[in-house]
Chain A
Amino acid sequence: MNASKPQINDADELGSIAIETQGLSQGQIVRKKFFRHKAAVISLGVLSALVVFVFSALDNKLFGFTIPGWWQFSHTDMPELNFDDCPFDSPGCPTLDAIPFLDGDGVMLGAHPFGQDDIGRDYFALVLKGTQRSLMVMVVIGIIAAFIGTVVGAVSGFFRGWIDAILMRLTDFIITIPSIIIGSVIGYHFGNLGALFLAFYLGLFAWTGLSRLIRGEFLTLREREFVDAARVAGASDRRIIFKHILPNAVGIIIVSVTLLMSGAILLETGLSYLGFGVVPPDVSLGLLVSTYQESFTIRPWLFWWPGVFIVTIALCVNFIGDGLRDAFDPRQAHKMSRKERKAAKAGVSVE
């Protein structure tokens, strides 16, 4: 990467000339196209707001320090059960009141906005803690799968031959086993080690689809003439892979990892629901849904709130992935919007 350094040094020397020649880089083009995708931009906003909200609410332990959260309860606190104004005399109903003209006393959060569980734990804290876990699992699975998938795909696509044959047969083998079975075996053996370990082991099996995509991308890119040019220039295999091919495949990697992450969050939820994922006293969204599924009829909030968070996260990540795919795809020309088409017909130019 030293080759890029002199340009930075030189930029100071040449000053204005360098600035003048800055054109749109590939990254800037991608960003511009991504920000045209409305659903993706909104999802990105919602997801970032959600992450900040979820992680700032509760106490976070970081390297022995505790960063206090703004919410009064933690997911382990057990305040007294609240029976006031509850339908069917069910204990621990939500105190959140967002729609003033229904019943209640106007807009307020109350002590337990999402209600309380059987033993009085604050459900707001529980759901937020569960969301933290689910997000963490999602990110860990994403990173590990991205790493293994990229390496396997790159190696087999670049070297081809027997290396490719072995790696792809291994991939085929893993693909034939349903992920829910792999997940439950892993959950059964390692579930008690905590959510992070579970995510780690799930990541070890989630890379297959990604590696195939990347292999395909490498197979086409390695035939491009700039790869030959690099070879003639004397570049080593390693340099060709990392400097020349991988940056060109980065679009497909980012897109498929994003989509893989939204799958990961559902996998974790499903496993926890089946009892093979995160185990108590740790919480996750899937675990909350499964624990309180029988209370759906009388205490639906115990079911709804984790559900809302799962759907929101999975949807947001999916939309972001869609937006990224459109942004990275050079064939995806900008379609005319209805407004633009109208303007085009009228022959007026809009800015």
Chain B
Amino acid sequence: MSEPILKVTDFSVDFWVDGKWYPAAIDMNFDVMAGKTLAIVGESGSGKSTTALGLMGLLPSNARVKGSIKVKGREMFGANAKQLRKYRGKEVAYIFQEPMTALNPVFTIGFQIVETLRNHFDMGPAAAKERAIELLNMVEIPNPEVSFNKYPHQLSGGQRQRAMIAQSISCDPGLLIADEPTTALDVTVQAEILDLMRGLRTRLNSAILLITHDMGVVADLADDILVMKDGLAVEMGKSEQIFSNPQHPYTQSLLASVPKLGQNLKREFDSSSKKDSILVLQDVTIEYPKRGRVPAFQAVKNFSLEIFPGEIVGLVGESGSGKTTVGRAAIGLLPIKSGKLQICDVDISRFNKKELVGIRRKTGIVFQDPYSSLNPRLPIGESIGEPLYLAGVAKGNELAKRVEELLEMVELPRSYRNRFPHELSGGQKQRVGIARALALTPELLVADEPTSALDVSVQARFLDLLQELQNKLKFACLFISHDLAVVDVLSHRIAVMQDGMLVEVGSKSDILENPKEVYTQRLISAVPVPDPHKQKIKREARLASLKK
């Protein structure tokens, strides 16, 4: 057997915080072979990114690294700055999570690729440009000659990630470290990037160290898997083996909490008891007004949707499709330009203040970002109690009691009432968000990507909780998400959006098993399945359908 490209032995990283060493990665041992992909999987804080940065020597000054890192047999641990500069980019390249921030916005992508090339090779500007265009062609950027002179902001998210990959592979590195390369991308783009990386791996025969939290991506790309938890490698093995027969309890629970598309119980909504719908959107158009020279932008066009009491409707779409805008309009945070918007039998199409006050008590919203949705200066008890207090429902001791009941309902200790948001974890904050949204037992709840910032295990618990509460309180819910699998877990009906327009709406089984529109089909086929075998079949089916 040939020598591994990367051989890591007894690798540890500690961080020095307030006079103490905190371990972030403990005694890691792994090899990556040429042409193979090792995926490091774990939830946030498990030390997977720290490990990757440590391999590159990019950790901050308060970190301490121990162990041995051998790249193509050469020891890289303890190398000086000059040696490191040579080995970065040339031997080991790094693909970052967020291409917008990882590319320099004041230089063209062509310039940035040429810079990397000329740093490592003795190459003239003309030759470097030729090679750069060749690379852009290799990563399938349309019109490479034109794109060469484009700035990062002129490209779409997927193209930016392609440009960054082109930069990373410019020196034919033996090892590519990809740190959550597709997390910031939409599913259809993600599928394309994964295809690209798979193609490059076979063509360049380089090793890939993939760092991700997404089991679907792992199933799609990885040959070997290393599962990390709290800085420790808990399990390591072949991809098929880990997915089919996980040994460690943590791996088992991690795989169990990944929502799987199309494997959930059918939650058919009993529409025979047709009552009046709670939310009516009829030919709604929402426009962001023009500001200065920026022309007005129609985020939502002729959108029609109805939600009945007690029903959960999932609204799916890629970024920029206008799904959040619909959600915000649906609880009266944004005025609509034309059409009819009716919430709980109140017509708020004209967005006047009196009518809005009426619907505030009957609606609630859970926001996407748990860090921004709670006032950092208020104890969470006050945040939860605010709707009750403002509606005049409860005051004083009674209010405190209600707040504690709400906390108990979302399975948080009563004593958390006096805590501040920064003392809570992301998942706990999202629970507080739900408690606040449900404080007035609303008839309509809008959940705007409430799980996108959470780890899978936390997400699974959160979705269980939301489902339980919905069964108990019977509120109608508009659940917005980019993740079809999450929507699949919860909803009765699914609506698909693209470019501000409604593509398709129907019952869950209709949409997932028998989608009529091409866009919906494309969206569903792009979602990776957390199972290497099934994913392979699905991938081939997708590529075949694309060729057609």
Contact = CB atoms under 8 A, between A and B. Distances in A.
Given A26-B376, A344-B16, A232 B61 contact: no
A347 B12 CA distance: 14
A37 interface: no
A190 to B, nearest CB: 39
B374 A233 contact: no
B311 interface: no
Contact of B372 (A18, A225, A336, A351): A225
B365 interface: yes
A347 B64 contact: yes
B420 A25 contact: yes
A4 B383 CA distance: 10
B357 A234 contact: yes
Contacts of A26: 376-377, 420, 422
A172 B367 CA distance: 37
A197 B389 CA distance: 44
Contact of B390 (A9, A24, A234): A234
Contact of A351 (B19, B375, B396): B19
B229 interface: no
Interface in B142-193: none
B364 interface: yes
A232 B415 contact: no
A247 B376 CA distance: 9
A87 interface: no
Interface string A18-50: 101111111000000000000000000000000
Contacts of A6: 395-400
Given A6-B397, A234-B390, A225 B19 contact: no
A349 interface: yes
B64 A21 contact: no
A231 B415 CA distance: 26
Contacts of A338: none
A244 interface: yes
B434 to A, nearest CB: 12
B429 to A, nearest CB: 11
A159 to B, nearest CB: 15
Given A228-B367, A347-B64, A350-B19, A7 B418 contact: yes
Nearest to A235: B390
Interface in B343-389: 357, 360-361, 363-365, 367-369, 372-379, 381-383, 385-387, 389
A230 B386 contact: yes
B256 interface: no
B360 A234 contact: yes
Nearest to A351: B19
A83 interface: no
B395 A232 contact: no
Nearest to A227: B375
A334 interface: yes
Contact of A344 (B62, B328, B357): B62
Interface in A102-149: none
Contacts of A235: 386, 390
B333 interface: yes
Nearest to B21: A349
**Most interface-central of A228, A229, A334 (chain B CB within 10 A):** A229
A233 B16 contact: no
B331 interface: yes
A234 B361 contact: yes
Nearest to A3: B389
A221 to B, nearest CB: 10
Contacts of A22: 418
B513 interface: no
**Most interface-central of A230, A247, A334, A351 (chain B CB within 10 A):** A230
Nearest to B399: A6
Contacts of A341: 61
A18 B389 contact: no
B122 interface: no
B416 A2 contact: no
Given A18-B418, A336-B61, A7 B400 contact: yes
B103 to A, nearest CB: 23
Interface string B400-433: 1000000000000011111110110000000001
B41 to A, nearest CB: 29
Contacts of B368: 225
Given A7-B400, A233-B387, A336 B16 contact: yes
Contacts of B439: 233
Given A17-B414, A233-B436, A234-B391, 4 more contacts: A228-B365, A230-B375, A234-B390, A248-B376
Interface of B: 16, 18-21, 61-62, 64, 328, 331-333, 357, 360-361, 363-365, 367-369, 372-379, 381-383, 385-387, 389-391, 395-400, 414-420, 422-423, 433, 436, 439
